[in-house]
Amino acid sequence: MLEIVQIPVLFDNYIYLAHDAGSGATAAIDPALAEPVLDALHARGWQLTHILNTHHHIDHIGGNIELKQATGCIIVGYGEDAARISGIDVQLKDGDVFMLGSARADVLFVPGHTRGHITYWFADEHVLFCGDTLFSMGCGRLFEGTPEQMYASLSRIAALPEDTLVYCTHEYTESNGRFALTLEPGNGDLQTRMAEVRGLRAEGRPTVPSTLGVEKRTNPFLRTESVEIRKNLGMLNAAPVQVFTEIRHRKDRFQ
């Protein structure tokens, strides 16, 4: 089993360490900074063997080179975006398998937030490192991709088992939930989740990970078939991707 450590950095980022005890292999997922990763490794006596990048944004690759220089780790990312991923050694594509020691990750290409975004799905561990594609009760902004791409990417993720733990890389849950309630205030699961989230944040605790099942019941970007959402948008008969597009536009303007 993987041991996962969550490292909060910057204002609202999370870096993750994933450690395979049997082999000693340890990966940092989307390291924005190097020093907090090195501190966490030292505290546990782990050696960094890999960096897994989901996409090229600086708050996900900022620590790559310093960590590589300090540890000799192997940097892994999406091959077609290699020019934008600092220090990349292993270039992956959709459908590839990456082994972290004995732990198998399936690579899913999920464009939308960027044109070269991937996720790492450890099926046996019930763990998904999804970067900025899926957030708890939200999804990433469409900086480089289209609504059609992001809708397809989220639909692909939504097809994974509902007990999958969703390790996204930002603590956006409370704001996302406030927006979700403007679209679907009658959703009892959403109300319950928001009460939980507010309690966690009041205690300074993370709301991540959630599970895919929770996301499918509370995340408006995965709920384009909700009659309540469609009524509130005035889009009862619209195609799901049109509903998604309108939700994304409204979230972009939400304060």
CATH value at residue 39 = 3.60.15.10
Whole-number Å distance between alpha carbons of 198 and 194: 6
Beta bridge partners of 106: 97, 121
pLDDT of residue 253: 93
Q: Which domain holds residue 187?
A: 2-253
pLDDT at 255 over 80: no
pLDDT of residue 1: 85
**243-255: average pLDDT:** 95
Mean pLDDT of the chain: 97
Angle between helices 147-158 and 240-253 (to 10 degrees): 110
pLDDT of residue 53: 98
- Residues of 210-226 as b/e, b for ≥16 C-beta within 10 angstroms? bbbebbebbbbbbbbeb
pLDDT tens-digit readout, 125-135: 999 999 999 99
Whole-number Å distance between alpha carbons of 139 and 158: 12
pLDDT of residue 170: 97
Q: Are 119 and 108 in contact (CB under 8 A)?
A: yes
pLDDT tens-digit readout, 152-181: 999 999 999 999 999 999 999 999 999 999
Whole-number Å distance between alpha carbons of 25 and 222: 34
Residue 46's pLDDT band, with cuts at 50, 70 and 90, is very high
- Residues annotated catalytic, as ranges: 55, 57, 59-60, 113, 132, 170
For the chain, the domain total comes to 1
